[in-house]
Amino acid sequence: MSAVSFAPAWPPDLATARAVRLRRVRLPRWLLGPGWPSRNGTPAFADLVVVNGHVASLQPSDGPGRHVVWTTGDDHDLDGMLALPGLVEAHAHLDKTLTLDRLGETEPGLLGAIAAMMHDRAGWTPEDVRARAGTALTWAWEAGVTRLRTHCDWWEPDTVPLAWHVLGELADEWRPRLRMDRAALMPLTFFAERGEAHRLAQGLARLDPTAKLGAFIHTSRWDPLAMRHLVQAAADAGLGLDLHIDEELDPAAAGLATLAGLLRETAFAGPVMCGHACALSAQHADVALATLDAVARTAITLVTLPATNLLLQDARTGHTPRQRGLTLVKEARERGIPVLIGSDNVQDPFCAVGDYDPLQALGTGVLAAQLPAAFDVWSEAICRHDWLDPGAPMPLAVGAPADLVLFPHARPHGFPARTHGRVVLRGGRLASPHSS
């Protein structure tokens, strides 16, 4: 397996004008396509050539070019080292993050967490939000994240939240390194009146046309007419949707099924991100699979949040949880529905753990959903930028930035075990560990 020392220079600087070749890199099967040579399902190693921080070619190591004599000297034999492209954190809450240490005891479950958060946010200042969210972005960046979406709670229809502005400033400051956008997380009740729904969506579009319109869709405040207004308002304002939907185990939850119907009826082109959809796991299989069949005919991407689902679903004091709470990720992928895995809440009352490392979210998903082939198959769920941003190029396509996360100590089996000590290259340049 991989060597632990390299000569003459490790990690390599791929941002130079000279061509640099990384030989015998082990990339995941999903990235390489059906024509890539493989043996017993294991893809052949790859030779990756980078010029000026961008991918110049990606070829099988034992392909026709294997005997080409490389004369530049910038040639690194990685001996099967695992590598992934730049990582995606598709679902975060940077406004609420890293508040756990000051909250004291909180009630278990989703509603208890909401109550604790309401109490804490009364004391938020721009400096407080900036410090906490900035720490989160640093952690994500060091983990290898190049694209992150954060939700931002929006409690008063006519008051732009303090955190919204701070997160916008941080998005601008971080743009060269990591692209962040925002989704406004509003109560569904805001959309009960058609005119008000349109006014809200138009206002958000004027504030930030790249923002996503979001809402919390739950049986406790279920209103199918408001849902219809929400979809129509987003379509008319040219906004994408990013919804917290059916984050519960009540089989009566109908948010996702209703949304799929509305998207078809209104020919809403997307993008549409649906977080959680836990209720599918509590519904009769015929009902849940019919909903997934409908979702497969829309532009919906599902994002599953294993850590918060495990911690918040089936949560009662003194009770060992029986249900896992995850949505039906395997059945969704079987139907061609894009499924991302995200961190969600990190060290706040909703989730006491987490660190914005998508590999940790993937590892939790492997355990919670019994995901096979984490490296070759399911790492796709933390790398597919185009599932978050439709039209984005496939990672490591020729001409794309050389955003790479190298794992000198990891193996395909057991992944994401031993992903510590990773090397993050952004546009070919070393991002982490710091070169000081």
Nearer residue to Zn ion within complex by CB, 151 or 385: 151
Q: Shortest gap between Cβ of 421 and Zn ion (angstroms)? A: 30
The sheet that has 423-426: what strands, in order across it? 54-60, 46-51, 20-26, 75-85, 404-407, 423-426, 429-432
Contact 166, 132 (CB under 8 A): no
Question: Distance between CA 377 and CA 371 in Å, rounded?
Answer: 9
Q: Between 58 and 117, name the residue whose CB sits nearer to Zn ion.
A: 117
Residue 380 is a binding residue for Zn ion (CB under 5 A): no
| Closer residue to Zn ion (CB): 150 or 258 | 150
Unique residue bearing structure tokens 């005119």:
195
Report d(CA 78, CA 22) in Å as an integer: 7
Q: In angstroms, what is the minimal distance from the CB of 11 to Zn ion?
A: 34
State the minimum distance, in angstroms, from the CB of residue 305 to Zn ion: 6
The helix (H) or strand (E) run that includes residue 76 is: strand 75-85
Beta bridge partners of 274: 243, 302
Q: 60 or 271, CB closer to Zn ion?
A: 271
Shortest Cβ distance from residue 401 to Zn ion (Å)?
28
47 is a contact residue toward Zn ion (CB under 5 A): no
Q: Is 344 in the site for Zn ion (CB under 5 A)?
A: yes
> Which of the ranges 124-132, 252-260, 311-319, 340-348 carries the binding residues for Zn ion, by CB under 5 A?
340-348
Query: Of 74 and 344, which has the nearer Cβ to Zn ion?
Result: 344
Cα separations in angstroms, 394 against 57, 85, 313:
14, 10, 34
Q: How far is the CB of 218 from Zn ion (least distance, A)?
A: 12
Residue located via tokens 């790249």: 210
Minimum distance of Zn ion from residue 347's CB (angstroms): 14
Helix, strand or coil for residue 183? strand
Using CB under 5 A, which of the segments 96-104, 266-274, 342-350, 376-384 binds Zn ion? 342-350
Nearest residue to Zn ion, scored by beta-carbon proximity: 344
Asked if the peptide bond before residue 12 counts as cis, ω within 30 degrees of 0, the response is no
DSSP string, 101-124: GGT-S--SSHHHHHHHHHHHHTT-
- Report DSSP state, residue 344: B
* CB 430 to Zn ion: min, Å: 32
Number of chain residues interacting with Zn ion (CB under 5 A) = 1
β pairing state of 42-43 and 38-39? antiparallel
Q: Which of these ranges, 45-53, 319-327, 336-344, 413-421, lies near Zn ion under the rule CB under 5 A?
A: 336-344
Measure the CA–CA gap between 143 and 356, rounded to whole angstroms.
7
Distance of closest approach, residue 351 Cβ to Zn ion, in angstroms:
9
Task: Count the helices and strands in the chain (H runs, E runs).
Answer: 12, 17
Q: How many CA atoms lie within 13 A of 265 on its CB side?
A: 11
User: Per CB under 5 A, which region of 81-89, 175-183, 343-351, 406-414 contacts Zn ion?
Assistant: 343-351
Task: Work out how close the CB of 342 gets to Zn ion at its nearest, in angstroms, rounded to a whole number.
Answer: 8
Question: Nearer Cβ to Zn ion, position 31 or 230?
Answer: 230
89/344 with CB nearer Zn ion: 344
If the CB atoms of residues 82 and 230 are measured against Zn ion, the closer one turns out to be 230
Interacting residues with Zn ion (CB under 5 A): 344
